[in-house]
Structure 1
Amino acid sequence: MSVHKAISEHVGKQNKIITRFAALDQQREYYIEQALDLCRRGLPFSADKINEITAEINELSKQGIIPARKYVTIEMIEEYASKTR
């Protein structure tokens, strides 16, 4: 295999990981905003969807290209919502 082809394949794999990360991160932010909105309105909410996406992101991060994300707790959402009212 030529060096050029090997580099192209490597970059292609990295690009797929980065693209997947960007989509997951955007989805995670959407779920965070939903939880914050529900919390501010005094409605029931959970961090389950946020943390499902976080788990996927953290699995991708094991490949060393993208950063891991922290898992979110109900308390974190409540604290942030109270600061940004």
Structure 2
Amino acid sequence: MNVHEAISQHSKKQHQHLVRFAELDAKREQAIEAAVDLCRRGLPFSVDAINQVTAQIIAHAKEGISPLRSYVTEDMVRDFVKKG
């Protein structure tokens, strides 16, 4: 494999990694929006779906260059809703 092919392959791998991160991050944002919506309406909510995707993001980040995300608590959601 020549240098050009190696660089192209590396760039493609990084791009695929970031695409997967973007998919996971969008899924996490949807879960956050759902929890916030329930909280705003005074209904019971859980952060389990958010944190399941967060765990996937953290595991994915170990394989490449994507950023990490923090786990979310129910108190964090309540505080966000109170401020908004």
TM-score between the two structures when normalised by the length of structure 1: 0.93
2:37 matched to which residue of 1?
Answer: 37
CA offsets 1:45-68 (integer angstroms, 9 cap, x no match): 101110111111111212341110
1:15 matched to which residue of 2?
Answer: 15
Amino acid at match of 1:31: A
CA offsets 1:2-37 (integer angstroms, 9 cap, x no match): 111111111111111100011111111111011000
For structure 2, the 5+ residue unaligned runs are: none
1:62 matched to which residue of 2?
Answer: 62
Secondary structure of the residue that 1:55 maps to in structure 2? helix
Count of aligned pairs:
84
Q: Distance in 2 between matches of 1:13 and 1:50?
A: 26
Q: Distance in 2 between matches of 1:64 and 1:9?
A: 14
Q: Distance in 1 between matches of 2:55 and 2:67?
A: 12
Q: Percent identity among equivalent residues?
A: 54
